[in-house]
Amino acid sequence: MVDDLGRAEATLTGLRELGVQIAVDDFGTGFSALGALRHYPVDSLKIDRSFVDGLGSDAQDTAIVHAVIAFAKTLGLQVTGEGIETAEPFEQLRALGCDLGQGYYFAKPLQHGSVQPFLAAHQRVPAEQPTSLGDPGLGDHY
């Protein structure tokens, strides 16, 4: 993607036209930084776990997480916090307006055959009831 911005943008635009949503993973690290937002049609940002890990205990990480969420909201993008392992960062991200979360707090990685029974046991909230990082365990938040 970095070597051929035009081709990457055309490919991502084509995928988006098919209904595929595009997320920038590990936002703020490596090549997934501000430049990607200018060139690519993206729908959401995923805050790297290295920043989520320091949320509430490291002033710089907390400021970065807060800024990324505000930045994403200003651009009309959805934002996901990665690496949520306990209730503390879950609650902090929710209070900051983070849309989605992923991590061991919700579920550990599952084998292929275990996914459907897990989801059946943790029914989704109906679509007409938005949750914005609602209760852990809801299918919306993986």
Q: Give catalytic residues, as residue numbers.
A: 82
Q: How far is CA 57 from CA 50, 62, 63, 110, in A?
A: 12, 8, 11, 30
Say if residues 90 and 102 touch (Cβ distance below 8 Å).
no
61, 53 in Cβ contact below 8 A?
yes
Please give the structure tokens belonging to residue 47.
Answer: 């805050």
Question: How many other C-beta atoms are found inside a 10 Å radius of the C-beta of residue 51?
Answer: 25
Give residues with Cβ within 8 angstroms of 38, minimum separation 6.
none
